[in-house]
Amino acid sequence: MLRFTNSLFLAVACLALAACMGPPDCFREDIFCAALVTDTLGLHDNGMNQNTWLGLEEAKANTLADRVEYIESVDSRDYEKNIAYFASQGFDMIVTTNPGMRDETLHAADPFPDSVFVGMNQSQTESRSNLISVSFAEDQMGFAAGALAAQISQTGTVGAVCETSGIDSMWRYCEGFRAGATALDARFKTLVVYREDGDSELLFLDEAWGYETAKSLIKRGADVIFAAGGLTGQGALRAAAEMNIPAIGAERDQAAALAESGSSVVTSIFGNASFEVQEVMRMLKGKDVRQARSGQIRTVPFRGDFPENLEKEMNLLLFNLWNGNLDTNISPEKP
């Protein structure tokens, strides 16, 4: 009985000690802590936030990080304080996502010099020694989408629906698509439409315009639709699903995001944030801080009855684009 009592006491003491210890102390030099502050799309966005968090969880599972946490931002006005919270707790690496958080990420670098801030899917206009921007080349993603569209098209005509060309990233997406579709055969017909004269209040939100534009392209003979630009692009993907036309998404896993409304999405092409966040972590732990990184791009597993080697060919194309073996010849800014 005494042996049982002693054992029970030790077990309780160990549990109490673990509870008192709490999570690892991020101010310790031998402890590496990484955090994610999402934009208002939240953790389960089927895109950059979700993929970045997956990378942080994998980093912890692989002992690359000792502690990982996240905050989902409910309002864009919370970005600054959410970033500051982790910095004040001694986190070594704080990741933010998407262009809408670019300014807050930059502004956090000066008051918190002991933390490194990583802007995922962000291109910074200013540099800081503790600021790393990871960007994903839209022209390369568009090029790959165009090449895929040309491969699966039956009519020799494909279409792209994009937000305004006044936003360089949107212009790079769709001009990259045009270049990719005509790379093997210049006679291939690409119908590319930008939302140039729409309501500025509906920027990235004009789902009705995207829907009607995709329908008009399909009526003009396009049998594959590519779309980019938030809800505007998702409207085009919905139209493709209704008309049973194959579609290619961008920015996130659009088939998962749209559910039944994305039933015709063959694949989506976007930045491989889970890989990149771990690569940046390895760089930091090796004392190698580079202020800008061009991130790898990934595809979602294909849906539909396509040759098995088609997906492999697409991934090889993306790799060759990323490592510079293939150039899209699309300038960074609209001429």
Instruction: Look over the chain and give the mean of its residue pLDDT values, rounded to a whole number.
Output: 92
- Structural domains in the chain, CATH included, are 20-135+274-294 (3.40.50.2300), 138-271+305-322 (3.40.50.2300)
Determine contact, residues 295/278, Cβ cutoff 8 Å.
Answer: no
96 close to 119: Cβ distance less than 8 angstroms: yes
Global pTM value: 0.87
Please enumerate in sequence order all residues whose Cβ is within 8 A of that of 236, keeping only pairs 6 or more positions apart, or say none.
Answer: 161, 210, 211, 213, 214, 225, 227, 247
**pLDDT digits over 8-64, tens only?**
444 444 444 444 567 899 999 999 999 999 999 999 999 999 999 999 999 999 999
Angle at 162 between CA 187 and CA 188, to 5 degrees: 5
**Residue 78: band (very low, low, confident or very high) from pLDDT cuts 50, 70, 90:** very high
| pLDDT at 5 exceeding the cut of 50 | no
Pairing, β 131-135 against β 292-294: parallel
Residue 331 three-state SS: coil
- pLDDT category of residue 297 using cuts at 50, 70 and 90: very high
Question: Which tens digit of pLDDT belongs to each residue from 178-207?
Answer: 999 999 888 899 999 999 988 889 999 999
Q: What is the pLDDT of residues 59-69, one digit of tens each?
A: 999 999 999 99
Tell me how far apart the alpha carbons of residues 223 and 244 are, in angstroms, rounded to a whole number.
9
**Alpha-carbon torsion 162, 166, 170, 173, what sign?**
positive
